[in-house]
Amino acid sequence: MVVVIRKRLLAVASIGAVVGALATGVAQATPAATSASPPGLTFTSQPGVANIVAHYVVSPAGAPHHGASASTDESPLAALWPKGHGASSTKSQSAGENGSNNGSAGASSATPGPSSSFIGQQGSATTCSYFGRGCNPPDMALGASPRFVLQGVNTQWEVLDTAGNVQPGWPVSAQNFFGAPNVTNADGTPCDTAHQSQPFLSDPRALYDPADGRFWAAELQVEGSPPFGVALDCPFKSVYYVSVSQTSNPNGKWNVYEFEMSMGPQANGQLYGADYTQLGINSQAVYFSGNMFGDQGGFYAEIFEANKTQMEKGLAHFTADGFFNLRIPIGPGITPATGPFLADTVQPTINLDASNGNTESFLDTLDGPDPVTGHFCGFRGGGFSDSCSGLARWDMTNAIAHDTGGPAPTLTGSYVPTAPFLVSVPANEPSCNLCIDVLDLRLTATPVIRNGIAYGAWETAINNGNNSSHPIPGIEWGQVNLADNSSQTAYYNFSGDEAASFGTLMPDAHGNVTMLFEHMGHKVFPETRYIVKATGDANFSGAGALLKAGESSYRPTLCGTKVIPVCRWGDYEAASFDGSGHIWFSGEYANLFQGVNTPPAFGRNWGTWIGAISAS
Residues whose CB is less than 8 angstroms from the CB of residue 195 and which lie 6 or more positions away in sequence, other chains included: 69, 71, 130, 131, 231
Strands 299-307, 320-330: pairing kind = antiparallel
Of 205, 60, 207, give the one whose Cα is nearest residue 145: 207
- Nearest Cα residue to 33 out of 411, 343, 475, 417: 411
Distance CA(373)–CA(382), nearest Å, equals 13
What is the 3-class SS of 477-512, one letter each residue? EEEEECCCCCEEEEEECCCCCCEEEEEEEEECCCCC
pLDDT for the residue numbered 75 = 66
Residue 282's identity, in one-letter code, is: N
**363 backbone dihedrals φ, ψ, rounded to 5°:** -130, 140
* Distance (Å, whole) CA 471 – CA 480: 27
pLDDT at 211: 96
Tens digits of residue pLDDT in 93-144: 888 888 888 888 776 778 999 999 999 999 999 999 999 899 999 999 999 9
What pLDDT, in 10s, does the model give residues 379-393? 887 777 899 999 999
Lowest-confidence segment of 92-101, 304-313, 512-521 by average pLDDT: 92-101
Q: Does residue 14 have a pLDDT over 50? A: no
Lowest mean pLDDT among 80-89, 395-404, 483-492, 594-603: 80-89
Residues 57-98: pLDDT tens digits? 999 998 877 777 767 766 666 789 999 888 888 888 888 888
For residue 240, count CB atoms less than 10 angstroms from its CB and return exposed for 0-12, middle for 13-18, buried for 19 or more: buried
Distance CA 258, CA 7 (A): 10
Q: What was the pLDDT predicted at 78? A: 76
> Which residues neighbour 260 within 8 Å (Cβ) at sequence distance 6 or greater?
11, 50, 51, 52, 53, 238, 239
Contacts for 319 with CB less than 8 Å, ≥ 6 apart: 12, 49, 51, 52, 402, 403
550 touches 117 (CB < 8 A): no
pLDDT recorded at residue 107: 65
End-to-end CA distance of the chain: 38
pLDDT score at 284: 97
- Strands in 254-260's sheet, in edge-to-edge order, are 5-8, 52-58, 254-260, 237-245, 214-223, 201-209
Query: Phi and psi of 535, rounded to 5°?
Result: -55, 130
Q: At residue 251, does pLDDT exceed 80? A: yes
> CA–CA separation, 240 vs 51, rounded Å?
11
Mean pLDDT lowest among 105-109, 309-313, 342-346, 462-466: 105-109
Question: Per-residue pLDDT tens for 144-179?
Answer: 999 999 999 999 999 999 999 999 999 999 999 999
CA distances (Å), origin 229, targets 194, 326, 357: 13, 25, 42
For the chain, the maximum distance between any two Cα atoms, rounded to a whole number of angstroms, is 64
Q: Give me the pLDDT at residue 430, please.
A: 98
DSSP string covering 433-479, please?
Answer: EEEE----SSB-SPPEEETTEEEEEEEEEEE-S---SS-EEEEEEEE
Q: What is the pLDDT of residues 406-428, one digit of tens each?
A: 999 999 999 999 999 999 999 99
Local confidence band at 286 (pLDDT 50, 70, 90 cut-offs): very high
The more confidently predicted of residues 68 and 567 is 567
Is the Cβ–Cβ distance between 551 and 528 less than 8 Å? no
Mean of the per-residue pLDDT values of the chain: 91
Residue 37's pLDDT is: 65
- Written as one string, the DSSP assignment of 228-293 is TTB-TTSPPEEEEEEEEESSS-TTS-EEEEEEE-S-S--GGG--EEEEEEEEEE-SSEEEEEEEEE
**pLDDT over 80 (residue 265):** yes
Q: Which amino acid does the sequence have at 216?
A: W
Burial class (CB within 10 angstroms; exposed 0-12, middle 13-18, buried 19+) of 468: middle
CB count, 10 Å around CB of 489? 22
Q: For residues 504 and 502, what is the distance between their CA atoms, to the nearest angstrom?
A: 6
Q: Find the angle CA(354)-CA(355)-CA(357) to the nearest 5 degrees.
A: 65
Query: What's the number of CA atoms in the CB half-sphere (13 Å) around residue 402?
Result: 16
Cis peptide before 600 (omega within 30 of 0): yes
Residue with more model confidence, 587 or 269: 587
pLDDT tens digits, 463-476: 988 877 789 999 99
**What are the angstrom distances between the C-alpha of 498 and each of 33, 252, 464, 469?**
43, 43, 10, 15
pLDDT at 497 over 90: yes
* Residue 590: Cβ-neighbour burial (10 angstroms; 0-12, 13-18, 19+): buried
Mean pLDDT of 278-296: 97
Average pLDDT over residues 207-227: 97
* Pairwise CA distance, residues 340 & 346, whole Å: 16
